[in-house]
Structure 1
Amino acid sequence: MDGGNQTIALRWFGVAGRRSRAQERDALVLARVADGDASALTELYERYAGPLFAFLYRLAGDRGTAEEILQDTLLAVWRSAGTYRSRSTVSTWLFGVARRQAHNRLRGLPPPLPAEPPDGAEVVDGLPGPEELAVGGDRVQAALARLPLAQREVVVLAFLNDLSHREIADVLGIPVGTVKSRLHHARTTLRGCLDERMA
């Protein structure tokens, strides 16, 4: 192996090792939650509240509703931590719990209204990329609101939370092929929505 490839391999193993240690640490923290340790729940909250809130906000389209669902998620984690069986990472399991809480709250409700963009948010032509989804301009939120919830959640998990197709499948409890299909249909819908707004 030449020096360049060896450096790349060492970096990859370093990143993989850090991820593995983080996953082990998360599993230990979740086990403490299962044992009734409230400080462990606080530790999980501090680590994952941001990504979970971003996911829930994109599903709900409303800050207050997303905050309520996040609180429901924490309560569900507190009650069900003992059911975690290491078949997925703790972060994937947490997104699955948050998704179930969102579905419980949002079932039967109309799609969210567009949110106001944060100050300084730029809107660019074409399909939104991960950065634009994260910033959340009104054009993006309006387009996301037009997606069925099943498509909206795969878009948010893929582009905002940067989950792989396999991780999304684990969160949603569906086959990888279904994830790919929903992403394909979501992109088509988003493209149509954005084309309408630019016409």
Structure 2
Amino acid sequence: MSFTPRPDEVDQQLLRAVAGGDRAALATLYRAYHPRLCQFLTRLTRRTDLMDEIVNDSFWIVWQKAGGFRGDSRVSTWIIGIAYRCGLKALRRDGPDDLDSLDDDDLPATAAADEPAEQRELRDWLDKGLSKLSWEQRVIVELVYAGGHSLEEAAAITQAPVGTLKSRLFQARLKLRNLLPALAGDAAPLKENLP
């Protein structure tokens, strides 16, 4: 599932209102970002109770720090960065078991009721492939491909160097190119085209 980017001007207006103590503006941001954050957080954990806690903690920080937003990035980058750091903190507190241990049984049931079977099958196949990646690789794939963030924005979110993220993304694509055919029943792995 990918998300259509929201106009940053709208989010900036809402954030200014939140900085002024407007709870309705916070509720609007929460409703707008909740599905996106949950989708992103599935790459860190499959525990929905923990995801809800992370989203709530993130918006508590948004409420407290809205006045400190300097506009160095899009509001979405700022909010997802907060959720990422809250997620890592929660996982460290609850134990790192979640980070690299995603089994096929842990995959979320994200199919829409009216989604065609072919779309559902493709998404399930990709989710199985993503579950085989390290959590660092899953996060960068989610940010760049599903979230539509540039590598620079992903670097701001994860507070990691762009070069590190490029390497993780390259390794994730290489691993997926080798894993996905096997998951589809075709055991012939593909080779990454190197320059």
Using structure 2 for the length normalisation, give the TM-score: 0.74
Alignment check: 8 A CA contact 2:43 2:135 kept: no
Aligned match of 1:77? 62
- Name the CA shift for 1:82/1:188 in 2 (closer, same or farther; >3 Å): same
Quick check: 1:61–1:113 contact (8 Å CA) kept in 2?
no
Moved more, 188-197 or 168-177: 188-197
Equivalent-residue separation in structure 2 for 1:158 and 1:171 (angstroms): 11
Write the distance in 1 (CA, Å) between the matches of 2:35 and 2:44.
Answer: 14
> How far is the alpha carbon of 1:196 from its aligned partner?
4.1
SS of equivalent residue, structure 1 residue 101:
helix
> How many angstroms does 1:170 deviate by?
1.9
d(CA) in 1 for partners of 2:25 and 2:34? 14
- Which of 73, 84, 97 pairs up with 1:109? 97
**Secondary structure of the equivalent of 2:97?**
coil
C-alpha distance 102-181 of structure 1, shift in aligned 2 (>3 A)? same
Q: Of Structure 1 and Structure 2, which has the larger fraction of its residues in helix?
A: 1
Q: How far does the alpha carbon of each residue in 1:68-122 deviate from its partner, in whole angstroms, 9 at most, with x for none? A: 2212211221122233111101111011011111111223223233315536354
1:166 CA drift (Å): 2.1
Which of the residues 100, 121, 124 maps onto 1:123? 121
1:61–1:145 contact (8 Å) kept in structure 2: no
Distance 1:143 1:78 in 2: 36
In structure 2, how many angstroms separate the alpha carbons of the residues matched to 1:74 and 1:103? 15
Q: For structure 1, which runs of at least 5 residues remain unmatched after alignment?
A: 1-18, 125-131
Taking CA–CA contacts closer than 8 Å with sequence separation of 6 or more, which of the two structures ends up with the larger relative contact order? 2
Aligned length: 168
Of residues 142-151 and 156-165 in structure 1, the stretch that sits farther from structure 2 once superposed is 142-151
Partner in structure 2 of residue 37 of structure 1: 22
**Alpha carbons 2:155, 2:165 under 8 Å: kept:** yes
Larger radius of gyration: 1
Q: Percent identity?
A: 35
Displacement, 1:189?
2.2
Question: For 1:94-105, what aligned pairs fall within 5 Å after superposition?
Answer: 94-105=79-90
TM-score scaled by structure 1? Answer: 0.73
Structure 2: distance between partners of 1:27 and 1:67: 24
Report if aligned partners of 2:19, 2:67 keep a CA contact under 8 Å in 1: yes
- The yes-or-no answer on 1:192 pairing with 2:178 is yes
**Superposed displacement of residue 195, structure 1:** 4.1
**Which residue is equivalent to 1:165?**
151
State the alpha-carbon separation in 2 of the partners of residues 46 and 186 from structure 1. Answer: 31
Show the 5 A alignment for 1:127-146.
Answer: 132=123, 137=124, 139-146=125-132
Q: Which residue of 1 aligns with 2:53?
A: 68
Q: Indicate the residue corresponding to 1:16 in structure 2.
A: none
